[in-house]
Amino acid sequence: MLFVTQEEIPHEATAMIITLVAATALTACGSDDSTAVSGIQAEAAQAAVDSAADQGLTLDRNCVDDVAVQLSDEDAALAAADGDADLSPEGEEVSLQLIACADQDELIDSIVTGLGDGVDQECARDALDLTTVLASSGDEPPAEFTEALTPCFGG
């Protein structure tokens, strides 16, 4: 039986979640009435779509555009140049909205797959609550997240 401490789960889960959040780094909710996006914000939106596609995720472009127009020119330039760039606190807050632009089932599948072979994937899918994770601040998932995933590791 594989023994996994709560300290180990945040490392594995956090790395995958941070990667996916960075990949989807910019959203509110998609609609056909997307805000017109141009210039550096349009470049940032395209970079987010491309980066997410590289991770196997599809983002709703209208949704991404709605998020990108909220970025300052400085944050948009950083996001367009490097999806892992250190955005301003305001830019980080805006970028977290991108999670809503991704298909949630697709996103959860990507996270669960990234947890590796030592996890019961069905258990992890049932336990994974992106709302709780994204509502937390800092580099570690909230305790509720790690507690929910702990039973999913074993062998």
pLDDT of 98-121, one tens digit each? 888 888 888 888 888 888 888 888
Q: How do residues 9-27 score in pLDDT, each as one tens digit?
A: 444 444 445 445 544 444 3
Do 35 and 4 sit in the same domain of this protein?
no
Instruction: Let me know whether 33 and 11 are in one domain.
Output: no
145's tokens = 């997240």
CA distance 115 to 31: 32
3-class secondary-structure state, position 153? strand
Per the structure, the count of domains in the chain is 2
Which residues in the chain belong to E strands, given as ranges? none
pLDDT in tens, 64-75: 999 999 999 999
Measured CA to CA, the distance from residue 155 to residue 72 in angstroms comes to 48
d(CA 115, CA 110): 9
| Domain match, 94 and 50 both | yes
**Is the same domain home to 41 and 81?**
yes
Q: Do 59 and 44 have their domain in common?
A: yes
Enclosing domain of residue 125: 1-24+104-155
**Are residues 113 and 133 both part of a single domain?**
yes
pTM over 0.75: no
Q: Are 89 and 111 found together in one domain?
A: no
Q: Which two tokens mark 71?
A: 């970025």
Same domain for 20 and 66? Answer: no
Diameter of the chain measured on Cα atoms: 54
